[in-house]
Amino acid sequence: MESTAYCDATLDLYRVLRAEHTNVGICLQSYLYRTDADLEQVLALSPMVRLVKGAYKEPAELAYPKKSDVDESFLRLAGELLAAAREGTARIAFGTHDADMILEINRRAADMGCPRESYEIQMLYGIQRDLQARLADSGYRMRVLISYGAYWFPWYMRRLAERPANVGFVLRSMLTG
């Protein structure tokens, strides 16, 4: 999912594709006020959903400006997704590198009776590798997103620009292998 200018078109496209294909998913962003309503509609489609916090600069009329509100929204939406996964009506994933968030989701999932294999944690290639390995070793489903194709470089640069601390992280990874 890109910036809010593309939300409606992306959701419309998803509805069309989902009517014909099972192996197609959509990403929803917890920083947008609209996502509670979008999720309600999407859940009616027996969807595959990746929940993320959201990466684009959005105005306060459309998105929570405070990180604590974005996190709270993430957990609320995650609860709805876990409930749907438990019912077998959605395939779900949480795209985040936030270790505390993942811990809390795992705790809530266990409380709700959702088995570890009923959801995925997804991260970008090369980020939080130790955490990725620990989650996989503990029986969680861990998927790593890799950029590829003609536009991998601009995509990767955008991800670095979102979080300048990643530049140092990538350089350190290159030097230490």
Ligand X SMILES: Cc1cc2nc3c(=O)[nH]c(=O)nc-3n(C[C@H](O)[C@H](O)[C@H](O)COP(=O)(O)OP(=O)(O)OC[C@H]3O[C@@H](n4cnc5c(N)ncnc54)[C@H](O)[C@@H]3O)c2cc1C
Q: Which residues bind ligand X (CB under 6 A)?
A: 1, 27, 29, 52-56, 95-99, 122-124, 127-128, 145, 162-163, 166, 169
CB 162 → ligand X: shortest distance, Å? 6
Cα 177 from Cα 172, distance rounded (Å): 8
Minimum CB separation from ligand X for residue 100, in Å? 7
Min. distance of Cβ 163 from ligand X in angstroms?
A: 5
Residue nearest to ligand X (CB): 95
Task: Look at the alpha carbons of 138, 148, 177, 169 in this order and tell me if their dihedral is positive or negative.
Answer: negative
Q: Which is nearer to ligand X, 88 or 100 (CB)?
A: 100
CB nearer ligand X, residue 88 or residue 149:
149
Tokens of 18: 């989902």
CB count in 10 Å sphere of residue 91 = 19
Query: DSSP secondary structure string, 124-166?
Result: ETTSSHHHHHHHHHTT-EEEEE---STTHHHHHHHHHHH-THH
Residue 16 CB, nearest distance to ligand X (Å)?
19
